[in-house]
Every structure is written in C-alpha cells, then in structure tokens.
Amino acid sequence: GQQLNQSPQSMFIQEGEDVSMNCTSSSIFNTWLWYKQDPGEGPVLLIALYKAGELTSNGRLTAQFGITRKDSFLNISASIPSDVGIYFCAGQDSNSGYALNFGKGTSLLVTP
C-alpha cells in the first residue's frame, strides 16, 4: 500500500485553541477519510471526502480534499479535552480492493 505522510506527529495544546493537521501522498486517491482513535478503542470515522476540492464540516471539525488529490487536511476549532486521541488520515483507491492506506497518526493532547 501507499505510505501517507501525516504531520504533525503529536500536538500538545490548550483548551480553546484551534488545531490543524495534514496528510500527503505520493499518489492520487479517490477518497480521503479522517478517523479518531480513543485509547483502547478502534478508529471511528470523523469525515469522508469524495471529490477533489471538497470541503466538509462535522461540528467543530473541517476537512478538505486537496485539488491535486494527493493531500488532505483536518482542522479542529476551539478544542476541548475530549478531543484528546490519535487522529488518522486514510486514502482509499481501487488498486487494493478499496482497503485504506493510513498515515501514522497525530496524537493530540488538550490541557484544560
């Protein structure tokens, strides 16, 4: 599978701050997805993006599918303590049966 470059690797912020993370790939994907994983749990889907240029929001979360189809970003506004977790980007293509290629994750810590 394709290796995705996700950054930053970790973030340590104060409650109320905005957060931005991004993901790049050397190849094109048809779909970009963002997942969040809480400790001891499986990843949970936050946002799915299906079209180049698409900008989608889910509450305080906003994600965009890059025009080149090789990148995506996720923004979290006004962070709260329950935003703590690991955020993964994932690209999906038809070459691997639509399995997901994952970034290595961004670990987010939010202090009150």
Partner 1 sequence: DVKVTQSSRYLVKRTGEKVFLECVQDMDHENMFWYRQDPGLGLRLIYFSYDVKMKEKGDIPEGYSVSREKKERFSLILESASTNQTSMYLCASSFPGRSPLHFGNGTRLTVT
**Pattern of binders to partner 1 over 1-40, x per CB under 8 A?**
x----------------------------xx-x-x----x
Give the integer Cα–Cα distance in Å for 89 and 80.
20
Q: Label residue 87 left, alpha or beta by phi (over 0 means left) and psi (-120 to 50 means alpha).
A: beta
Instruction: Give the residue with the Cβ less far from partner 1, 43 or 66.
Output: 43
Return the HEC string of 13-72.
EECCCCEEEEEECCCCCCEEEEEEECCCCCCEEEEEECCCCCEEEECCEEEEECCCCCEE
Does 108 contact partner 1 by CB under 8 A?
no
Instruction: Give the residue with the Cβ less far from partner 1, 19 or 90.
Output: 90
Does 91 contact partner 1 by CB under 8 A?
no
Q: At its nearest, how many Å lie between partner 1 and the CB of residue 58? A: 13
ω into residue 8 within 30 of 0, thus cis?
A: yes
Instruction: Give the residue with the Cβ less far from partner 1, 76 or 89.
Output: 89
Interface residues toward partner 1, by CB under 8 A: 1, 30-31, 33, 35, 40-45, 48, 50, 88, 90, 92, 96-105
